[in-house]
């Protein structure tokens, strides 16, 4: 296929996909490297939980500010600035502990600070991406690119598991952080070279494609000035989406933070074998994220955004809750890995529906709106990272991780109350609850 035959919006999106892929390569590596960092640096499981959580603290705390920055400066500049910090913080994670900082307390504090900084820098990624997709894609075709971006992150996380395991066993855990410095520089140079904030600014954009992108926008949220985003803080639909996204991300962060450790310590797999087995949830998630996005867009075209987003979200959350419980209590380690991989895939099937729903609701305010939604989602990570080892000490890892089943089913119920067909209107309050 010739490059010129690919719509410009999808060529632009390929740069976003690339950054999404890189994002999860750079944030997932510590969950593999942690298996060697803990004994070498004398870090306990509980302390490692706080280190894992520090990334999520920064990530969750800066979601809304990151979305506001994206709204203020545009996707191109915002992500380039964030990328600079990604690269520096990744290098410092490998360099500081045990070399420049040697005391036990100093190592713990240094890792918490650097991971918090890395999380804060990653925060604008998906709110800004959602805003770019709202600008660059036609109305009602937002779920698929958001879902494909999730495919990018799942593939990045999937590659991180075996890649980091191999690098760590061969050259040590520090190398698993250093290798992303030149890669990050390359990826963000490509982003700056090719990306534009608006489709009309891109030199390759054609009038027919631009007309397609700008069609049918009259009934959506209209521009009302920069400060109008503040009304999102009391927008019913956005707050409900944030609550539902909390429940989905509770399950997501079980895999993100402790799945590798669970396979090693509870199911008895070796580091290298776990490196490949731990990639399975992310690979299946990549497939189901794309399928979920296609399903959501097709249902939105057929039945409208209210049911089009609700159905795949509820299916994904319900399936993930059931599969998580069954997988954790499976007597066979390999069957457990298969079922848990399908559990994660189910969360990704619902992913596109969340982001598409928020774009339908917020329109030109998608960056701060998605930042607010993702604040709710990533608050789950703040809880999950330290909570799991604490619960595991008292009730065991299986019972601790199975709490995600309850949260996923609650999230499916919340979706019954979300009205995606209500575009956000600044300064207008809607209190009616309707199913």
CATH value at residue 187: 1.20.1250.20
pLDDT at residue 325, rounded to an integer: 96
pLDDT of residue 220: 67
Q: How far is the C-alpha of 29 from the C-alpha of 23, rounded, in Å?
A: 10
| Structural domain contains residue 224 | no
Number of domains in the chain: 1
- CB within 8 A of 250, min separation 6: which ones? 380, 383, 384, 403, 404, 407, 408
Beta bridge partners of 101: 97
- CA angle in degrees (0–180, nearest 5) for 282-78-219: 85
- Model-level pTM? 0.82
Give the structural domain span for 129. Answer: 8-198+229-417
- Give domain status of residue 141, yes or no: yes
pLDDT of residue 226: 61
pLDDT digits (tens, 9 = 90+) for 70-122: 888 999 999 999 999 999 998 999 888 888 888 888 999 999 999 999 999 99
Give the contacts of 268 (CB within 8 A, at least 6 positions apart).
333
Q: Is residue 425 part of a domain?
A: no
Q: Is residue 3 a part of any domain in this protein?
A: no
Q: What is the mean pLDDT for each group of 10 consecutive residues in the chain (435 residues)?
A: 77 92 84 85 85 87 90 92 92 86 88 93 91 91 89 81 84 89 93 94 93 83 63 86 96 86 83 79 90 95 94 98 95 91 95 93 85 90 86 90 96 96 66 38
Q: What is the pLDDT of residue 428?
A: 52
Task: Please report, for residues 194, 234, 337, the alpha-carbon distance to residue 434 in angstroms, rounded to integers and kept in the order given.
Answer: 44, 17, 39
DSSP 421: T
According to the model, what pLDDT value does residue 105 have? 86
Q: What is the pLDDT of residue 354?
A: 96
| pLDDT score for 152 | 84
**Residue 126, both tokens:** 């998906």
Rounded-to-integer distance, Cα 166 and Cα 163, Å: 5
In angstroms, the CA 361 to CA 142 distance is 12
Q: Would 298 be classed as within a structural domain? A: yes
188-213 burial, b at 16+ Cβ within 10 Å, e below that, comes to beebeeebbbebeebeebeeebbebb
Query: Is 369 a domain residue?
Result: yes
């Amino acid at each position: 296929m010739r490059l010129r035959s690919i719509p410009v919006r999808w060529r632009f999106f390929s740069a976003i996909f690339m950054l999404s892929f890189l994002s999860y390569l750079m944030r997932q590596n510590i969950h593999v490297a942690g298996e060697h960092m803990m004994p070498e640096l004398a870090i306990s499981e509980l302390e490692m939980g706080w280190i894992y959580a520090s990334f999520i603290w920064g990530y969750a705390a800066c979601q809304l500010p990151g979305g506001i920055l994206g709204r203020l400066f545009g996707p191109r500049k915002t992500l380039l600035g964030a990328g600079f910090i990604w690269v520096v913080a990744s290098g410092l994670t490998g360099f500081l502990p045990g070399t420049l900082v040697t005391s036990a307390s100093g190592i713990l504090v240094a890792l918490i600070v650097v991971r918090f900084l890395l999380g804060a820098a990653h925060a604008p990624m998906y709110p800004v991406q959602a805003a770019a997709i709202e600008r660059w894609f036609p109305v009602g075709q937002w779920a698929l690119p958001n879902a494909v971006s999730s495919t990018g992150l799942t593939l990045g996380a999937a590659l991180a598991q075996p890649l980091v395991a191999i690098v760590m066993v061969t050259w040590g855990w520090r190398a698993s952080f250093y290798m992303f410095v030149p890669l990050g520089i390359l990826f963000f140079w490509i982003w700056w070279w090719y990306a534009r904030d608006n489709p009309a600014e891109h030199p390759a954009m054609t009038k027919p494609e631009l007309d397609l992108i700008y069609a049918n926008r009259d009934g959506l949220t209209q521009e009302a000035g920069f400060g109008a985003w503040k009304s999102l803080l009391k927008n019913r639909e956005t707050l409900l989406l944030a609550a539902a996204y909390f429940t989905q991300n509770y399950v997501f962060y079980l895999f993100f933070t402790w799945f590798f450790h669970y396979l090693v310590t509870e199911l008895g797999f070796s580091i290298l074998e776990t490196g490949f087995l731990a990639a399975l949830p992310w690979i299946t998630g990549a497939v189901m994220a794309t399928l979920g996005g296609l399903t959501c867009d097709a249902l939105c075209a057929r039945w409208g955004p209210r049911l089009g987003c609700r159905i795949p979200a509820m299916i994904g959350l319900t399936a993930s809750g059931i599969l998580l419980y069954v997988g954790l209590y499976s007597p066979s380690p390999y069957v457990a890995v298969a079922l848990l991989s399908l559990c994660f895939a189910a969360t990704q099937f619902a992913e596109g529906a969340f982001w598409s729903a928020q774009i339908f609701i917020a329109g030109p305010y998608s960056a701060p709106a998605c930042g607010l939604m993702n604040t709710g989602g990533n608050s789950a990570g703040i809880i999950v990272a330290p909570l799991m080892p604490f619960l595991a000490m008292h009730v065991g890892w299986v019972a601790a991780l199975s709490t995600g089943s309850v949260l996923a089913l609650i999230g499916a119920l919340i979706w019954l109350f979300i009205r995606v067909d209500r575009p956000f209107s600044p300064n207008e309050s809607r209190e009616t609850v309707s199913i």
